[in-house]
Homo-oligomer: A and B are copies of this chain.
Amino acid sequence: MNLRTPSAPEVLDAQQRLNGIAVRTPLLRSDALDEQLGLRLLVKAECLQHTGAFKFRGAYNCLAQLSPGTYPGGVVAYSTGNHGQAIATVARMLRLRATIVMPADAPRVKMAAAERQGATVVTYDRQSERREAIAGEIAHRIGALVVPPGDHPDIITGQGTACLEALQDLAPSTTVDAVVVPCGGGGLAAGTCLAVAAHGAQSAVWAAEPEAFDDTRRSLAAGERLVNARLNGSICDALLAPTPAELPFAINRRRLAGVLTATDSQVRAAMRLLFRELRLVAEPGGAMALAALLAQPAQFAGKTVVALVSGGNVDPHVFVEALLAE
């Protein structure tokens, strides 16, 4: 794995690479949300990105830089879903072979989407097997590159382009006090920190995690990478990385303002609000930043806050449950 720490200006390079390729997703707002939260909220709708998640950005930024022919077996990704789907889609665009290692309990829509893109899907048991080991073994056998969801500088800077766009799309007179992003392994948070620096902004970047899966919050407090007690048991399937990824953690510990958390119930409330007020389909993990603002609104009272909705790949029955949970 390439663990070189990327510099902030590399987010600008990534944006050049993605120009005309990624969807320039809109920044949305509503009076009703502002009134409910007591702050000025801007929602970056990355659920509208290709493959339904910001992961497309990092995947393209990374794979587009591979030298042709270096990896005859193409690329291998292990993923709770969205990263794998992004790698599969980008590999098809760039005519690379792709193998995706997914937990056996990942949403069916995510597996089907990867296979539709021509990728080979290999499943594993989240409780008893290590995805990194399986991916490494396959890559060695077929001559492929393992593309991790966070531990690569080009993945991190690619993810950062979402926040960069949001800052660029605002009038120069608008000061963004805080940017809140969902956090699993921490790659999006790290890229967002670099994007804020690349834009010359002073915005505080906050990561948001499921309450019982707050590995990044505890790791930052401890100064070392800690693991979650459990590996499942939250509806936020996209945010259940067992521990912070190494390279993102090195960036986040220096640059992150802090970590917020929210419960599954607050996540469902955020999904309902995004549906009703902004006509967005968010998957549970995708709604985590807004859920964290719902959980801790006082901390941001009167501030201008960008919340990133990171993905929208959700099984219909999970979405229906959130809509009707009120």
Contacts and interface: CB of A to CB of B under 8 A. Distances in A.
Nearest to A283: B279
Contacts of A28: 23, 48
A259 interface: no
Contact of A275 (B24, B316, B324): B316
Contact of A320 (B23, B25, B279, B323): B323
A23 B42 CA distance: 12
Contact of A280 (B24, B279, B316): B279
Contacts of A323: 316, 319-320
Interface in A191-222: none
A134 to B, nearest CB: 27
A24 B23 contact: no
Given A23-B26, A26-B24, A116-B32, A279 B316 contact: no
Given A25-B26, A116-B32, A52 B316 contact: no
Chain A contact residues (Cβ within 8 angstroms of B): what range?
20 to 34
A281 interface: yes
Contacts of A113: 32
Nearest to A92: B31
Interface string A280-313: 1100000000000000000000000000000011
Interface in A103-142: 109, 113, 116-117
A319 B31 CA distance: 23
Nearest to A323: B316
A167 B20 CA distance: 15
**The 10 residue pairs across chains A and B that have the minimum distance between CB atoms:** A279-B312, A279-B281, A316-B323, A47-B279, A320-B320, A52-B279, A23-B26, A26-B48, A275-B281, A26-B26
A278 interface: yes
A45 interface: yes
A20 B172 CA distance: 13
Contacts of A272: 316
A230 interface: no
A48 B278 contact: yes
19 contacts: A20-B171, A26-B26, A28-B48, A31-B116, A31-B117, A47-B279, A48-B48, A48-B280, A52-B279, A275-B319, A276-B316, A279-B280, A279-B281, A279-B312, A281-B281, A316-B323, A319-B323, A320-B320, A320-B323
